[in-house]
């Protein structure tokens, strides 16, 4: 994988939503999944250097495990309650997996590629890898890598049945990283992703939901993970802390689960 620079990192939960008024107006029909992703990306773009990149050279990579699942159910409610022919077209258009990506491209004027991917394992790491490939190919000069999940009572209930415990599904939240090509200046001042390697293996598919056995390994410390987006929050938080501390050098990060393993090597 070609190396790329991280120009900005943000993580946000729905409880922290704080959008400017003009965005709130534009998002009045959007679901919480989209609003959270937009808010997180808004913060990410605002804290990244403004490089004057044309809209055609900015790419969007959105990864999610379950996407706007609750919006899908709201459309189903509309179909079941209002009947065929009366279902809400707005809910249907928002239930499509890439609806949030559509909002992102419109609100932030992104005319480059917009790719939404679905993965039960580590969708954020998958989009980071694909974003890095597209940056290297020359098609884009900046990539917005986003991952988001929407709280689902149905999946929480299913997880509790599977685990026979008080399992909690993650709250609606998002992580956004802004990635840029590496320049000589960036080499000195930025965080560089040197490598991402993801491998998958067969598993009991229930673990995609329960996350049983998932853990992050960083600097000889094993940290257990119990929620869907936790790996992305944790990685973002650890990088932010390392950057604040002024540490330099290589940073190796690993996440393991019954469904595979992913390794990231960064340099500060």
Partner 1 sequence: MRHPLKYKPAITGVGCISAAGINTGEHLVTINQKNRNAQHVPNWLFHTQKKFPVFICPQQALTETGQNLLQSFKLDIGKISIGRTAKLLFSAVAEAIEMSGLKIADLQKKRVGVAIGTTVGCAFNDENYYQAFKQGFNPPLNPVLNYLNSNLAYWLQTVIGVEGPSMVITNACASGADAIGIAASWLASDLCDIAIAGGADELSRIAYNGFIALQLYDHSPCRPFDKDRNGLNLGEGAGIVILEKENRVTEKDKIIGWLLGYGICSDAWHPTAPHPEGQGIVKAVKIAIEEAGDANLKFNLINAHGTATKANDVAETNALAVILNAQRNETPIISTKGITGHTLGAAGAIEAILTLFSLKQETTDGTVGCHEIDPSLKVKPLSEPERVKLTGKIGLSQSLAFGGGNSALIVEAN
Nearer to partner 1, 157 or 241 (CB): 157
Nearer to partner 1, 84 or 184 (CB): 84
Nearer to partner 1, 231 or 242 (CB): 231
User: Token digits for 62?
Assistant: 């959105």
Q: How many CB atoms lie within 10 A of CB 58?
A: 23
* Least separation in angstroms between CB 62 and partner 1: 9
* Least separation in angstroms between CB 4 and partner 1: 13
Q: How many CB atoms lie within 10 A of CB 167?
A: 20
The answer to whether the beta carbons of residues 34 and 99 sit under 8 Å apart is yes
* Least separation in angstroms between CB 124 and partner 1: 13
Nearer to partner 1, 61 or 242 (CB): 61
Nearer to partner 1, 71 or 239 (CB): 71
* Least separation in angstroms between CB 92 and partner 1: 3
Torsion of CA 13, 245, 124, 255, to 10 degrees: -110
* Least separation in angstroms between CB 255 and partner 1: 16
- For residue 64, CA distances in Å to 15, 117, 175 come to 19, 6, 11
The answer to whether the beta carbons of residues 55 and 110 sit under 8 Å apart is yes
* Least separation in angstroms between CB 3 and partner 1: 13
Q: Which positions touch partner 1 (CB under 8 A)? A: 1-2, 55-56, 60, 66-67, 69, 72-73, 75-76, 79-80, 84-89, 92-99, 101-103, 105-106, 109-121, 126, 129-130, 133-134, 136-139, 154-155, 157-158, 161-162, 198-200, 202, 205-206, 208-209, 259
Nearer to partner 1, 36 or 105 (CB): 105
* Least separation in angstroms between CB 12 and partner 1: 22
Number of H helices, E strands in the chain: 10, 10
| Residue 257 dihedral angles phi and psi, to the nearest 5° | -155, 170
* Least separation in angstroms between CB 88 and partner 1: 7
CA-to-CA distance for 218 and 215, rounded, in angstroms? 10
DSSP string over 116-182: EEE-SS-HHHHHHHHHHHHHHHTS-SEEEEEEEE---HHHHHHHHHHHTS---PPPSEEEEEEEE--
Nearer to partner 1, 178 or 239 (CB): 178
Nearer to partner 1, 86 or 245 (CB): 86
Q: Positive or negative, the Cα torsion across 134, 236, 230, 103?
A: negative
């Amino acid at each position: 994988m070609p190396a790329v620079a991280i120009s900005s990192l943000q993580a946000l939960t729905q409880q922290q939503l704080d959008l400017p008024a003009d965005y709130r107006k534009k998002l009045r029909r959007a679901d919480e999944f989209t609003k959270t992703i937009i808010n997180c990306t808004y913060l990410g773009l605002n804290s990244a250097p403004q490089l004057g990149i044309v809209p055609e050279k900015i790419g969007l990579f959105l990864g999610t495990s379950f996407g706007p699942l609750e919006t899908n159910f709201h459309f189903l409610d509309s179909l079941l309650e209002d009947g065929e022919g009366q279902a809400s077209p707005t809910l249907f258009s928002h239930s499509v997996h890439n609806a949030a990506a559509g909002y992102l491209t419109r609100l932030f004027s992104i005319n480059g590629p917009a790719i939404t991917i679905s993965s039960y394992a580590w969708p954020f790491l998958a989009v980071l890898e694909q974003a890095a490939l597209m940056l290297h190919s020359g098609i884009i000069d900046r990539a917005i890598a986003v991952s988001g999940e929407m709280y689902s009572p149905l999946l929480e209930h299913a997880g509790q049945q599977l685990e026979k415990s008080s399992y909690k599904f993650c709250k609606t939240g998002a992580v956004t990283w802004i990635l840029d090509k590496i320049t000589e200046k960036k080499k000195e001042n930025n965080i560089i992703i040197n490598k991402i390697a993801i491998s998958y293996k067969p598993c009991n598919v229930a673990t995609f939901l329960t996350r049983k056995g998932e853990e992050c390994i960083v600097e000889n410390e094993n940290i257990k993970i119990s929620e869907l987006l936790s790996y992305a929050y944790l990685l973002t938080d650890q990088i932010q802390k390392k950057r604040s501390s002024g540490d330099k050098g290589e940073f190796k990060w690993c996440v393991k689960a019954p469904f595979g393993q992913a390794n990231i090597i960064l340099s500060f």
